[in-house]
């Protein structure tokens, strides 16, 4: 009975997103960006600022660049050089191309994104009514799993959107992969993908999956995360990404959202 009285006392706690904006989603520090008026920075200083090598600087111009696919959101760069780097609020960080996670954007990214989005939209037309998700841990530290589990609680409640987790890849429309791409998981990942009905959307969830994480290219993990093992359709940076970021990626997989809506960029 306590749950009954608590429900009466607290009322509806489920987020109205994506039907309406959510205040918390717009205040979450989801990424790091380079300020438009940032002064030059040396390559050595840029390398020293980031434990994962996500920050680089041009040797001639000194312009900094951040690879969000390797950023673990430790905050060292924004606290040490706030004149160069700034946190970005929001949760719409998912991208349909790996290069789109690099900011400021690379020239070739914009030329290929439109075609990639159109191709994803064609493949996901059948997913509009319901979506079945198979989660795979490919060497995760467990942080992403906490956020994925939150998708099922009363606050996010993805069942209201027709999204369900399934225990079998044969019933799945989406493979939601976490972890740094452990070498021992390469073969099971491929077998799972081959057992999944087509078309299937593969989502790399978290910085570890997007770029290998803090200890990438070790004896145990792949340098590029799971991108070295599978073809990825949607990349979700963050260590870990928030439930809203994961939900945004899943809505992209259903074709209900595109990156034209308030994409988190500099």
Domains of the chain, residue spans: 98-254
pLDDT for the residue 107: 58
pLDDT for the residue 44: 94
Query: Between residues 206 and 121, which one has the greater pLDDT?
Result: 206
Q: Mind listing the pLDDT tens digit for each residue in 21-50?
A: 888 888 888 999 999 999 999 999 999 999
pLDDT mean over 231-258: 89
pLDDT for the residue 259: 46
Residue 242 in tokens: 């928030």
Residue 195 in tokens: 């057992």
CA-angle at 214, arms to 192 and 226, nearest 5°: 20
Q: Could you tell me which of 9, 231, 242 has the C-alpha nearest to residue 144? A: 242
- 51 CB contacts (<8 Å, ≥6 apart)? 72, 74, 76, 214
Give, in order, the Cα–Cα distances in Å from 155 to each of 30, 36, 81, 159. Answer: 19, 36, 36, 11
pLDDT for the residue 263: 45
Q: What confidence category does residue 262 fall into, taking pLDDT thresholds of 50, 70 and 90?
A: very low
Is the whole-model pTM more than 0.85? yes
Check whether 261 has a pLDDT greater than 60.
Answer: no
Distance CA(53)–CA(184), nearest Å, equals: 24
CATH (residue range 98-254): 3.40.50.12280
Q: Mind listing the pLDDT tens digit for each residue in 178-205?
A: 999 999 999 999 999 999 988 899 999 9
């Amino acid at each position: 009975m306590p749950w009954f009285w608590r429900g009466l006392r607290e009322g509806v706690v489920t987020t109205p997103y994506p039907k309406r904006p959510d205040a918390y989603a717009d205040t979450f520090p989801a990424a790091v960006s380079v300020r438009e008026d940032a002064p030059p920075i040396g390559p050595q200083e840029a390398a020293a600022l980031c434990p994962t090598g996500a920050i680089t600087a041009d040797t001639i111009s000194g312009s900094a660049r951040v690879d969000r696919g390797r950023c673990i959101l430790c905050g060292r760069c924004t606290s040490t050089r706030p004149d160069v780097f700034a946190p970005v609020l929001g949760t719409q960080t998912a991208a349909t191309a790996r290069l789109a996670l690099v900011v400021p954007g690379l020239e070739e990214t914009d030329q290929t994104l439109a075609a990639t989005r159109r191709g994803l939209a064609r493949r996901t037309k059948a997913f509009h009514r319901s979506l079945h998700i198979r989660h795979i841990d490919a060497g995760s530290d467990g942080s992403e799993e906490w956020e994925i589990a939150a998708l099922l609680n009363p606050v996010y409640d993805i069942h209201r959107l027709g999204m369900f987790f399934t225990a079998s890849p044969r019933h799945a429309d989406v493979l939601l992969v976490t972890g740094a791409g452990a070498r021992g998981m390469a073969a099971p990942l491929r077998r799972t993908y081959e057992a999944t009905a087509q078309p299937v959307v593969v989502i790399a969830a978290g910085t570890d999956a997007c770029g290998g994480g803090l200890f990438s290219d070790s004896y145990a993990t792949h340098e590029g995360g799971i991108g070295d093992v599978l073809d990825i359709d949607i990349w979700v940076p963050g260590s870990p990404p928030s439930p809203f970021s994961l939900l945004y990626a899943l809505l992209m997989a259903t074709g209900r959202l595109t990156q034209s809506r308030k994409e988190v960029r500099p």
